[in-house]
Chains A and B, each alone.
Chain A
Amino acid sequence: MNWRCLSIIVILFFNFCIIGLSVCHGFAQNPDILSLEQVLQGFEEPSITVPVPEQSQGENQNSSDNSESFPDLNFTGSFSTHISYSPYRHTTAAGYSIHGLTSFKPYLALFLAGKLSEDWLMKISGWSFYDFAYTLQGRDNYSPEVLDNYEQEMELGEAYLGGRLSPLLDITVGRQIVVWGKSDFFGIANMVNPVDNRERGMDDIEIKRLPLWMTRLDAYLGPWRVSGLLTHELRYSKNPVYGHDFYPYDFPAPPREDRSNNLENSSFGISLERVYNGVDIGFYYGSFLKELDMVGLTSEVSQLSLNRLTLFSMAAEKAMDHWLFKMEAGVVGGLEYYSLPEQEKTRLDLLLGTDYTGFRNTRLSLEIINRHLFKLDSEVAERDDTPSQDSLVWAFRAARTFHREKLQFIFLSYVGGVTFSQGSVQSVSAEYEVNDSLAVTAGYVFIHSGDNYIMRDMGDNDRILLKLNYKF
């Protein structure tokens, strides 16, 4: 039995354990043998002494004093250490050897947020890290691109001011993150902000969205929330770079096309959302300036190009008993590809998903998305340097808490292709809450190669993860 088979067995075992434990709880017996007096005796037994905090004094009935003092700002943050380890020696597409410690980074995140007045609020956040793994492993063993993009970072996160212009109109100005749609795993409608893809599969569903400078207006018209946004910043997703083991090519990416940060290059969008008969529904339209997908990139390409994408999308979700059902559909126009010059493609994205919470302390989530590219010749679609005509991805997540939520197990899986042929990423992790401030997370990320261009030859990129997180 090789490591690959063993890893699949471990994943399946872990997954069945989460579900099995949930089911087994339901089949235990309940011997109802205690008399009334024995049951009531339970109130008389001594309890562990808990110091009772002092209660606020001077409260009185019908007090109408709701006054709060402003500004009411909270300063919070976290200091964490992220460690990752590559158990298999492997070589990146660029020829760099990877094995052992791949990350050892202290990470500081700070947040200042709160209300400036009854109607106005603000938030400023930022983070910084330095990854000592590159020094410990020898900086000469990495490409300059990897060192520039992975070794250290200090960034301003969200920084915005929001408030009420009228009882029906809110404004938010500044660097912010806007989430569209209902999916937890994929972004059909969720195209506003760029994302940090540098370490694929290393996080739970907390996709690292990168904030953008923008102005957003939210109007509340009857049951509708109508939101319009205009960006003031050209910012792109952070992707793996030449020399990294998640970068698929043996040549560096060319410089990005230079565009002015002006109104012509801004992105804009509008969303309409409401609740109708217990169904949360949303409609989205946007026009976004994005980088081309890197499929078909060659060393002859002189610059990373930008294309303007238009999005029409709708999303809905409905809760029924223990189930939450969700769907999204969207049409994305204006797609260009390096291997299909002078052509613009249109894509139809469809997503179905569900969450199930019927097992005790357990949440199971499944989402399936298919992206269909129109007017793509079948012969062309078979080529390695072109996008697939249909691209289907399954995402499954099982999470269960134990010991009063002190311990949480998570299994997360992304699998590409109807027959799982496009590659997959699975992770198993456990988070233990040592106390109210400190948590330890340990996990393993299994990566399986596939036909998709970014998943080829990735099978040895597995990672062992350890994270210590102190929040204050």
Chain B
Amino acid sequence: MQRVYSREVGDTVIGTVEMILVGKDGSQRKRMMKIFTKRYDELTKRIVFFLAPADVTGTALLTYDYTSVGQDDDQWIYLPALHKTKRISAGNRSGSFMGSDFSYGDMTQKSLESYTYQLLKEQQVNQHAVWIIEAVPKNDEIINLYGYSKSLFLVRQDNFVVVRAVHWLKNKNILKYNEVTQLEKRGDIWVPMEVRAKTVDNGNTVHQTLLINTDVKLNTPVDDALFTKRRLKQGL
């Protein structure tokens, strides 16, 4: 897993993300956001500007994601209806991100040292050899933080990208499946362009999310001033 965590993902990433939420009955809702990410040595800064639907337009989320274990992330949200930038606690990363099948924890870099890994087997996925690796949190704190009692990662052996993952929700008979269904190579960097996620409760798919990355730019210079509360309020 060391290779997975140290895989080149770009010092900066700019992208427009569309999320399509699909209910059990096939009903769909759409979310659209522009995301800027910049990685530093011990810190990843991310700012998300929500573009759609209309009731979240103008809302923006700023996160300072610290890699060191035990350090709480800093997170602020600008709510245009309240004309206010609010600090929010980042202690619960198990919550759904905008009603999707992705949690806040799924969108952040986890600490390699927080899990015990075991190689279960090797197999082929879409003509690519993968390792199937089980990750078990080392303590209840990690379980409570991310909401998963264990996870499976299917890692492509040629590029170390996690192309499939299964997460067991703690205290529930629910599995969450994530699958990269479109992967592109930009220079030396592999970028998941389309990711599907679904929540399976007792064998029944109860909700799905399709996440589509468009307009992806890697290693483009991004001003540090973008990742500030000043810019949070000013918007895109």
Q: How far is the CA of A71 from the CA of B218 in the complex (A)?
A: 26
- Interface residue? A321 (CB, 8 A): yes
- Interface residue? A235 (CB, 8 A): no
User: A361–B95 contact, CB under 8 A?
Assistant: yes
Q: How far is the CA of A433 from the CA of B187 in the complex (A)?
A: 42
User: B221–A64 contact, CB under 8 A?
Assistant: yes
User: A61–B218 contact, CB under 8 A?
Assistant: yes
User: A360–B87 contact, CB under 8 A?
Assistant: no
A26-53 residues with Cβ-Cβ distance < 8 A to B are: 26-32, 34, 36, 39-40, 42-43, 45, 47-48, 50, 52-53
User: B89–A361 contact, CB under 8 A?
Assistant: no
Contact of B22 among A48, A357, A358, A433 (CB under 8 A): A48
User: A206–B198 contact, CB under 8 A?
Assistant: no
Check A404/B121 contact, CB under 8 A, given A30-B173, A320-B89.
Answer: no
How many interface residues does A have (CB within 8 Å)?
76
B158-178 residues with Cβ-Cβ distance < 8 A to A are: 164, 166, 168-173, 175, 177
- Interface residue? A112 (CB, 8 A): no
Chain B residues, Cβ within 8 Å of A25: 171-172
User: B21–A76 contact, CB under 8 A?
Assistant: no
A94-126 residues with Cβ-Cβ distance < 8 A to B are: 113, 115, 121
Q: How far is the CA of A320 from the CA of B73 in the complex (A)?
A: 9
For chain B, the bracket of interface size reads: 35 or more
- Interface residue? B116 (CB, 8 A): no
Q: Residue of A at shortest CB range from B74? A: A278
Q: Residue of B at shortest CB range from A274? A: B229
User: B208–A48 contact, CB under 8 A?
Assistant: yes
Check A56/B194 contact, CB under 8 A, given A358-B91, A404-B23.
Answer: no
Contact of A436 among B29, B152, B177, B200 (CB under 8 A): B29
Chain A residues, Cβ within 8 Å of B28: 50
Check A27/B171 contact, CB under 8 A, given A39-B166, A43-B179.
Answer: yes
CB distance from A358 to the nearest CB of B (A): 6
- Interface residue? A78 (CB, 8 A): yes
- Interface residue? A472 (CB, 8 A): yes
CB distance from A200 to the nearest CB of B (A): 18
Chain A residues, Cβ within 8 Å of B170: 30
A364-413 residues with Cβ-Cβ distance < 8 A to B are: 401, 404-406
Check A357/B83 contact, CB under 8 A, given A59-B216, A74-B57.
Answer: no
Chain A residues, Cβ within 8 Å of B3: none
- Interface residue? A69 (CB, 8 A): no
Chain A residues, Cβ within 8 Å of B168: 30, 32
User: B235–A121 contact, CB under 8 A?
Assistant: yes
Check A319/B212 contact, CB under 8 A, given A404-B207, A437-B54.
Answer: no
- Interface residue? A435 (CB, 8 A): yes
User: B177–A66 contact, CB under 8 A?
Assistant: no
User: A225–B205 contact, CB under 8 A?
Assistant: no
- Interface residue? A8 (CB, 8 A): no
Q: How far is the CA of A74 from the CA of B28 in the complex (A)?
A: 24
Chain A residues, Cβ within 8 Å of B149: 30, 32
Q: Which of B28, B87, B164, B189 has the most CB of A within 10 A?
A: B87
Q: Which of A42, A78, A278, A435 has the most CB of B within 10 A?
A: A42
CB distance from B65 to the nearest CB of A (A): 14
Q: How far is the CA of A170 from the CA of B229 in the complex (A)?
A: 13
Q: How far is the CA of A62 from the CA of B147 in the complex (A)?
A: 36
User: A280–B54 contact, CB under 8 A?
Assistant: no
Q: How far is the CA of A271 from the CA of B28 in the complex (A)?
A: 44
- Interface residue? B41 (CB, 8 A): no
Q: How far is the CA of A357 from the CA of B212 in the complex (A)?
A: 29
- Interface residue? A418 (CB, 8 A): no
Check A439/B55 contact, CB under 8 A, given A50-B20, A62-B218.
Answer: yes
A304-333 residues with Cβ-Cβ distance < 8 A to B are: 317-324
- Interface residue? B84 (CB, 8 A): yes
User: A404–B152 contact, CB under 8 A?
Assistant: no
User: A47–B23 contact, CB under 8 A?
Assistant: no
Check A360/B22 contact, CB under 8 A, given A53-B212, A61-B187.
Answer: no
Starting from the known contacts A66-B220, A436-B30, 13 additional A-B residue pairs (CB-CB under 8 Å) come to: A25-B171, A36-B132, A39-B152, A47-B196, A55-B193, A59-B215, A59-B216, A61-B189, A318-B87, A319-B75, A319-B88, A322-B92, A358-B91
Closest 10 CB pairs of A and B: A405-B99, A471-B54, A404-B99, A61-B186, A436-B53, A322-B91, A321-B91, A61-B187, A319-B89, A50-B210
- Can you list 26 pairs linking A and B with CB atoms under 8 Å apart? A25-B171, A25-B172, A30-B168, A31-B173, A36-B120, A40-B152, A43-B179, A47-B196, A50-B210, A52-B194, A55-B214, A62-B218, A66-B14, A74-B57, A113-B58, A121-B234, A179-B82, A206-B81, A320-B72, A320-B89, A320-B91, A355-B89, A357-B89, A405-B99, A436-B30, A437-B54
